[in-house]
Amino acid sequence: MADTITIIDDRTGKKVTVPITGGTFPSSALRELDPSLFMYDPAYQSTASCASAITYLDGDAGVLRYRGYPIEQLAEKSTFLEVAYLLLKGELPTAEQYAQWTWDVTHHTYVHENMRKRFVDGFHYDAHPMGMFVSATAALGTFYDDAKDIFDKSSFDKQVMRLVAKVPTIAAMCQRFSQGLPFVLPNNSLSYSENFLNMMFRVGDDYKIDPVLSRAMDVLFILHADHEQNCGTTTMRVVSSAQTDPYTATAAAAAALYGPLHGGANEAVVRMLTEIGSIDNVPGFIEEIKNGSDLLWGFGHRVYKNFDPRATIIKKTAYEVFDVTGRNPLLDVALKLEEVALNDDYFRSRRLYPNVDFYSGLIYQALGFSVDVFTVLFAIPRTVGWLAHMQELLGDREQKLSRPRQLYVGVEERNFVPIADRK
Ligand code: ACO
Q: Which domains does the chain have, with CATH numbers?
A: 4-58 (no CATH), 71-406 (1.10.580.10)
User: Per-residue pLDDT averaged across 74-95, rounded?
Assistant: 98
User: Per-residue pLDDT averaged across 166-178, rounded?
Assistant: 95
User: Per-residue pLDDT averaged across 268-274, rounded?
Assistant: 94
CA atoms within 13 A on the CB side of 376: 29
The percent of residues above 70 in pLDDT, for the chain, comes to: 100
pLDDT at 44 over 80: yes
More confident residue, 164 or 354: 164
Binned at pLDDT 50, 70 and 90, residue 210 comes out as very high
Of all atoms in ligand 1, which is nearest to the CA of residue 289? Answer: 2
pLDDT at 142 over 80: yes
Residue 289: Cβ within 10 Å count: 19
Binned at pLDDT 50, 70 and 90, residue 307 comes out as confident
Binned at pLDDT 50, 70 and 90, residue 40 comes out as very high
User: Per-residue pLDDT averaged across 397-422, rounded?
Assistant: 96
Task: Name the residue of 261, 276, 287, 288 to mutate for ligand 1: max ligand atoms within 8 A of Cβ.
Answer: 261
Q: Tell me, what's the pLDDT at 328? A: 86
pLDDT at 28 over 90: no
**Which residues, at least 6 apart from 278, have a Cβ–Cβ distance to it below 8 Å?**
333
Residue 290 near ligand 1, beta carbon < 6 Å = no
Q: Tell me, what's the pLDDT at 259? A: 95
Among 24-33, 42-51, 315-324, 342-351, the minimum mean pLDDT is found in 24-33
Of all atoms in ligand 1, which is nearest to the CA of residue 298? Answer: 44
Residue type, 200: M
User: Per-residue pLDDT averaged across 165-183, rounded?
Assistant: 95
Q: Tell me, what's the pLDDT at 196? A: 98
pLDDT at 31 over 90: no
C-alpha 307: how far from its chain's center?
18
> Shortest CA distance to 318 belongs to which of 217, 209, 195, 399?
217
Residue 308 near ligand 1, beta carbon < 6 Å = no
d(CA 379, CA 356): 14
Q: Tell me, what's the pLDDT at 204? A: 84
Q: How far apart are the first and last CA of the chain?
A: 64
Q: Tell me, what's the pLDDT at 334? A: 93
User: Per-residue pLDDT averaged across 90-115, rounded?
Assistant: 97
> Shortest CA distance to 66 belongs to which of 84, 49, 79, 48?
84
Among 29-38, 167-176, 196-205, 389-398, the minimum mean pLDDT is found in 29-38
Pairing of strands 55-58, 4-8: unpaired
User: Per-residue pLDDT averaged across 229-256, rounded?
Assistant: 98
Determine the 3-state secondary structure of 301 from DSSP: coil
> Shortest CA distance to 16 belongs to which of 2, 37, 30?
30
pLDDT at 389 over 90: yes
Query: Where do the H-state alpha helices sit in 115-210?
Result: 129-141, 153-179, 192-201
d(CA 114, CA 3): 58
d(CA 105, CA 82): 11
d(CA 196, CA 284): 40
User: Per-residue pLDDT averaged across 196-215, rounded?
Assistant: 93
Residue 356 near ligand 1, beta carbon < 6 Å = yes
Residue 261 near ligand 1, beta carbon < 6 Å = yes
What is the Å distance from ligand 1's center to 113 Cα? Answer: 42
φ, ψ dihedrals at 85, nearest 5°:
-60, -45
Residue 354 near ligand 1, beta carbon < 6 Å = no
Residue 347, exposed/middle/buried by CB under 10 A (0-12, 13-18, 19+)?
Answer: buried
Task: Name the residue of 350, 355, 356, 382 to mutate for ligand 1: max ligand atoms within 8 A of Cβ.
Answer: 350
Q: Tell me, what's the pLDDT at 306? A: 83
Mean pLDDT of the chain: 94
